[in-house]
Amino acid sequence: MKNVINASFLAIVIMSAPIITAQEISGSFLKSEYMPEIHGTIRAKYEYEPPIDKGRFEIRNARLSVEGKIIPIVRYKAEIDLSDEGQIKMLDAYIRLQPKDRLKFTFGQMRVPFSIDAHRSPHLQYFANRSFIAKQVGNVRDVGVSASWTFGQQLPVTLEGGIFNGSGLTNQKNFWTNDYNFSFKAFTMIARQFNVTLSCQKAKTGDVNTMLYDAGAYWENSRWHIEAEYLRKYYAHDSFRPVNAVDAFAAYRLPLKKGLTAISFLGRYDYMSDHNNGSKDDKGALTVSDLERHRLTGGVTLSLGKKALQADIRLNYEQYFYNKGVTPAISEQNKIVVEFVAHF
């Protein structure tokens, strides 16, 4: 036994020696601008639906990302979600060439430049559940190349555009096409408070080409954020009637000095007409996959962290409105949501 202990101790010493040396050598690297940054977001929530008198616990997101620089003009990012509604998904995986602060070229897998709310990361969302624009209609990630250019001093304008496979995130190896998707987005910030965003996108819904047009704006200061967005989606050859989607909300953040760092009061209205996500009937015709609905959401967010959107508790109530005679999906009904969000 003594020999085993001595041998184990010797092995630990031998293995520790190069590690200590490496730490000493890499000390300057750890403090340099090339040290990778690791970020993560975990969203744990409970939902209760009074119409069916049932509830559920869920880990909605468990995201981890690493990003940094190789050289001053070459950057990278890789992000994975270990629990995107219970599934593991590779989200972002790209290399960015940034010769100037206002000029960027991105190659790889990314969220396409489109919309305001659909482009938000989970920890930047204001409500526990995403708007219909962000979840059903305008949420697209793809593989391709994009470019971004910001110009203007008094009135900065950013133009973003990209070309993409249209294959989505999992169908890349054997996907060949001469019918690429594209996306374009332009936005400006007026007086550092008022944002106007216009965007369009050619995408595929199943094997049908679609065109999406989006216009949105928001105003914000240290306490208020007021936002409105409208999206219209067209299907090629009139294979499905155009879709309309609206998202409008207001949030008021009240800073606190003791205990909680802030408490926010929120209200939202969003709407989506009958929507198709690629589903077809037996005859090959596009069918309704998301029923027309209106929704009112009221909520309170309790902020615990020293930084905004660092550690929040979101309390929301959602009231849905459907046409008469419609049977809603089990997860798309009136609900109470309690969500804990931690971002690092």
pLDDT in tens, 60-109: 999 999 999 999 999 999 999 998 877 888 899 999 999 988 999 999 99
Alpha helices (runs of H) in the chain, residue ranges in sequence order = 2-25, 27-30, 132
Please state the three-class secondary structure of 93-143 as a single string.
EEEEEEEECCEEEEEEEEECCCCCHHHCCHHHCCCCCCCHHHHHHCCCEEE
pLDDT higher than 60, residue 23: no
Q: Rounded to an integer, what distance in angstroms lies between the CA atom of residue 282 and that of residue 36?
A: 51
Q: Decide if pLDDT at 8 tops 60.
A: no
For domain 48-343, which architecture applies? Beta Barrel (2.40)
Terminal-to-terminal C-alpha distance of the chain = 45
What does the mean pLDDT of the chain come to?
89
**Residue 29: predicted pLDDT:** 52
pTM above 0.75, yes or no: yes
Q: What is the pLDDT of residues 204-239, one digit of tens each?
A: 888 899 999 999 999 999 999 999 999 999 999 999
Give the pLDDT confidence score for residue 158 in this predicted structure: 97
In the predicted model, what is the mean pLDDT of residues 312-328? 95
Rg (CA), the chain: 23
The answer for 169, left when phi > 0, alpha when psi is -120 to 50, beta otherwise, is alpha
Of the listed ranges 8-22, 23-37, 220-234, 272-286, the least confidently predicted one is 8-22
DSSP 239: S
Rounded distance, CA 199 to CA 216, Å? 9
| 326-341 confidence digits (pLDDT tens) | 999 999 999 999 999 9
- Separation between Cα atoms, residue 93 and residue 78, nearest integer Å: 4
Rounded to whole angstroms, the maximal C-alpha distance in the chain is 81
Residue linked to tokens 């009231």:
319
pLDDT value at residue 172: 76
Return the domain boundaries, the chain.
48-343
Q: How far apart are CA 275 and CA 287, in angstroms?
A: 8
